[in-house]
Amino acid sequence: MEGDVLQFDTRVSKYIKGYMGYRDDVYDHPIEEDYQLSRPTKVVNLTHPERMLDLPPLEKSHSKAEKDTTPTEKQLDFIKTIAEELEEEPPEIETREEASSWIDRHIRLFDRAKQHDAYLDRVNQAKDSYLSGRSLIEVAEEMGLTVSTIRKYKREWETPKVTQAQ
């Protein structure tokens, strides 16, 4: 009611009203600090404590219990595609968080595999050019690489790495 004294908790945000530029001759509005109150809680009428104040309850739109945590169709389709590319079985995923973490982890693996394939293609291209009779300098100029990189590729194809223990 008008004239009642209220006590409440709220969040207070400070903001500045008015023009804040360098042209004070054009804009003569003074700069003022003001406060914005948001969503009062624990409201008590100090003048008439017997009066009940009826505030609508806060909506719980971000409640985890109400959220749908099943993975989306896009996530499942993407997981299936990546698993096929990496020649793996698609996993059984039950939550969005699991799907998201699986995608993040396997995207890095997919990128790494793609980069390694591109590297092996460059090594094989350099090998074919070198074995066809070109010098290291000619191969480097043809591929747009340095001679030291071509030497590194040459060491790669001359001494292949052991990938499995026997």
Per-residue pLDDT of the chain (166 residues; tens, 9 = 90+): 677 787 777 777 877 766 555 655 555 566 677 777 777 777 777 888 777 776 666 666 555 556 778 888 999 999 999 888 888 898 898 888 999 999 999 888 888 989 999 999 999 999 999 999 999 999 999 999 999 999 999 888 888 775 544 4
Residue 141 lies in a domain: yes
Using only C-alpha atoms, the chain has a radius of gyration, in whole angstroms, of: 34
Q: Which residues contact 157 (CB under 8 A, 6 or more apart)?
A: 123, 124, 127
79 and 149 in a single domain? The answer is yes
Number of domains in the chain: 2
Say how many residues make up the chain. 166
**Does 53 map to a domain?**
no
Range of the domain at 105: 73-158
Task: Establish if 67 belongs to a structural domain.
Answer: no
Q: Under a CB-based contact definition with an 8 Å cutoff, are residues 153 and 122 in contact?
A: yes
Q: Do residues 133 and 90 both lie within one domain?
A: yes
What predicted TM-score, i.e. pTM, was given to this entire model? 0.49
Cα distance from N-terminal residue to C-terminal residue, the chain: 88
Residue 65 domain flag: no
Residue 106 lies in a domain: yes
On whether residue 110 sits in a domain, the answer given is yes
145 shares a domain with 85: yes
